[in-house]
Structure 1
Amino acid sequence: MQMLRFASVGTSSIVELFGASVALVDEVSWVAASSRDESRAAQLGAPHGARPVSGVDALASADDVDAVYIASPNALHHAQARQLLEAGKHVLVEKSACTTAEQWRDLVEVANSRGLVVLESVRAVHEPLWRHVTAHLESLGPVRQVSLQLCQRSRRYDNFLAGKVENIFRPEMAAGALMDLGVYCLHPLVSLFGMPTRVQASSVKLSNGIDGATTLLLDYPGFTATVACSKVSANACGNVIAGEDASLLLDRIDDPHRLQLAWTNGAETEEVPLDKSLPQQAHVLRAFARMVQDPALARPHQQATDDALTVMDEARRQVGLVFPADPGWQG
């Protein structure tokens, strides 16, 4: 397999995690880092041999770049990814991949027409743990309840309360609890069970109209699922997929470190051993490199992104959560 040469867009802390993971994966290298702040890009990329590049236009024309990791604000994802795909680059994009399902379908269509791969970087479903989750589903008997949540009070919320609104709380950046955290729950859910038959949504809105917290009740044939996400409050509860015979318990849905199988007949709870020897992003990069060799491998993950965004579209419609990045938006 030929080494996949990556560039990056963005300078948030998650790009540092990307760089650390690239160093652990033989199939990829990091050759360029792009940002509006070229000095920040240079600072991030220098330890890994990635040269600073000013802007997406330069990446699109770079002959030594095969793929681009996009970690800019959500509202920029679609336009940046489309430009790079049209330039012949594979794209790995942070969540949420786009503002709407319509935008995501556009990216997939462009990628398919050019023999390229576009993938949303939802990390948990690419690490070895996910195989344990899918393998144990049959042990649960008929699934009756699913509860997934990611509620963590953002460090930036105090700044918001003080009048300093950062990107993660700005409608202009297509941010908020659902777009930033809800996808961690929805993507695994629809990966396992597909689209729900009904979506009911409720949100806690902040003063600028962004959602600080959102809860979803989702109907499936034979069971219900709840998804809760919050950037203004913490919740120490875990996650559960509950069947008639047993339940799977996960400590966190975004980065699980503990997976248990609890039997309803009172038998001792089983600890499922997990391989956490590599960071999650390293597994994503390895999976992405395989998808570049065989794009058909990307199809189930692209469909899960489509399904999750479709659910979020409906949830946003119900609670009146509108972003300037939405197609057809008029302020």
Structure 2
Amino acid sequence: MLKLGIIGTGAISHEFIKAAQLSGGYQLAAVYSRTLTAAERFVKAYEKVALYTDMVEFLSADLDVAYIASPNSLHFSHAKVAILARKHVIVEKPAVSLPAEWAELVKLAAEHQVYVFEAARNYHEEAFATIREFLRDKTVWGASFTYAKYSSKMQALLEGQEPNVFSAKFSGGALMDLGVYTLYAAIGLFGRPEKALYTAQQLPNTVDLNGAGSLIYPDFQVRIQAGKNLNSQLPAEIYTDQGTLTLDGIEFISSAIFQRLDGQEEVLPIEQAAHPMLEESQAFAGVLENGEDRTYADWQQATAAVHDCLFAMRREAGIRFEVDDD
């Protein structure tokens, strides 16, 4: 069983722990927080968990893998020190702010003989394997993927505060949060696009509240939409020469229905997991325990493609973070 350490005491870390424990592959062993009070509050629901407020001490503990869910702009530095301490690393999406940071993490992980993963949960859903196989004998003509959810931090923003999720200092915004899922859906199904475009409704700090864009492939386009100041109930659609495949979303998919051009319908055999993060936690444990290097290499290429697109789309829209060097 993998001994798990947590960096970042937000709600998403609790959800990953639930999924990790449900998978049967992990044991929560340690939590790092900047303050002991936050660490103690976080572990109330758990037993026998070591608490640390010193990162060096935390990374010196008996841990196999560190799950990192600190603010976006801190992911790179936290992942880097964990890798240098020879810990496997699972970094919550977006793993980095810049493509060069991801390349450096992958290089360092290889040098220190550990693995580094971006925790983009929908990429590891079995539903996408089912969809990919279903599309194998069809010609894709296009797709439309949307993920927009009103943020719990919007009220604070409207009151004049700048929450991390809307901060240029912390690499926030709709594209870097919910937009990541749309990119992983497209790249997981169709591969790396030739070009990525994006326009957005932006705050004065240039961070996007919502936006729309296109991923350009040789023979079709994928329209994407992401938002944190609005809700969308739009399904996802994939258009083919034989009909349209409609999904109930692009993450934690529970329904996929194909309507042929003659009107006949076919329901794909989609079985939703017991927890939205269960399949990714199982996938990571599988590689960590079995050393599936070809699978791991495929994941790294997909992550690199996602971050290349994120960077290109930010530049297209004029979204600038403090980490940007020009």
**TM-score, normalised with respect to structure 1:** 0.93
Q: Aligned partners of 2:156, 2:106: CA distance in 1, in Å?
A: 37
Q: CA deviation at 1:12?
A: 0.9
Q: CA deviation at 1:92?
A: 0.4
Q: Aligned partners of 1:55, 1:283: CA distance in 2, in Å?
A: 31
Match of 1:282 in 2: 278
Paired residue secondary structure (1:249): strand
Query: Which of residues 246, 252, 257 in structure 1 aligns to 2:249?
Result: 252
Q: Aligned partners of 1:161, 1:208: CA distance in 2, in Å?
A: 14
Paired residue secondary structure (1:222): coil
Q: Aligned partners of 2:50, 2:259: CA distance in 1, in Å?
A: 50
Match of 1:291 in 2: 287
Q: Aligned partners of 2:54, 2:213: CA distance in 1, in Å?
A: 37
Match of 1:265 in 2: 262
Q: Aligned partners of 1:255, 1:206: CA distance in 2, in Å?
A: 30
What is the correspondence of 1:145-294 to structure 2 with a 5 Å cutoff? 145-267=142-264, 269-292=265-288, 293-294=290-291
Q: Aligned partners of 2:98, 2:228: CA distance in 1, in Å?
A: 21
Match of 1:111 in 2: 109
Paired residue secondary structure (2:277): helix
Q: Aligned partners of 1:56, 1:257: CA distance in 2, in Å?
A: 39
Query: Could you report, residue by residue, the CA deviation over 1:105-134 in whole angstroms, capped at 9, with x for unpaired residues?
Result: 110011111221100111112232122111
Q: Check conservation: 2:209, 2:228, Cα contact below 8 A.
A: yes
Q: Check conservation: 1:90, 1:116, Cα contact below 8 A.
A: yes
Query: Could you report, residue by residue, the CA deviation over 1:222-259 in whole angstroms, capped at 9, with x for unpaired residues?
Result: 11111110111222111111101022211111222222
Match of 2:136 in 1: 138
Query: Which of residues 33, 36, 50 in structure 2 aligns to 1:35?
Result: 33
Q: Aligned partners of 1:81, 1:277: CA distance in 2, in Å?
A: 28
Q: What residue identity is the alignment partner of 2:218?
A: P
What is the correspondence of 1:54-133 to structure 2 with a 5 Å cutoff? 54-62=53-61, 64-133=62-131
Q: Check conservation: 1:32, 1:45, Cα contact below 8 A.
A: no
RMSD: 1.5
Q: CA deviation at 1:172?
A: 0.6
Aligned-residue identity in percent: 28
Runs of 4+ off more than 3 Å? none
Paired residue secondary structure (1:171): coil
Q: Aligned partners of 1:211, 1:55: CA distance in 2, in Å?
A: 34
Query: Could you report, residue by residue, the CA deviation over 1:232-290 in whole angstroms, capped at 9, with x for unpaired residues?
Result: 122211111110102221111122222212212211x2222332242132221211111
Q: Aligned partners of 2:23, 2:108: CA distance in 1, in Å?
A: 28
Query: Could you report, residue by residue, the CA deviation over 1:189-232 in whole angstroms, capped at 9, with x for unpaired residues?
Result: 11222221222221111133211112111211111111110111
Q: CA deviation at 1:295?
A: 4.6
Q: What residue identity is the alignment partner of 1:116?
A: V
Q: Provide structure 2 residue ranges, at least 5 long, that are not aligned to the other structure.
A: none
Match of 1:303 in 2: 301
Change (3 A) 1:110 1:251: same
Match of 2:17 in 1: 19
Query: Could you report, residue by residue, the CA deviation over 1:114-165 in whole angstroms, capped at 9, with x for unpaired residues?
Result: 22110011111223212211111125x2101111110112121122111122
Q: Check conservation: 1:5, 1:31, Cα contact below 8 A.
A: yes
Paired residue secondary structure (2:22): coil
Change (3 A) 1:18 1:200: closer
Q: Aligned partners of 2:93, 2:169: CA distance in 1, in Å?
A: 16
Paired residue secondary structure (2:178): helix
Q: What residue identity is the alignment partner of 2:55?
A: V
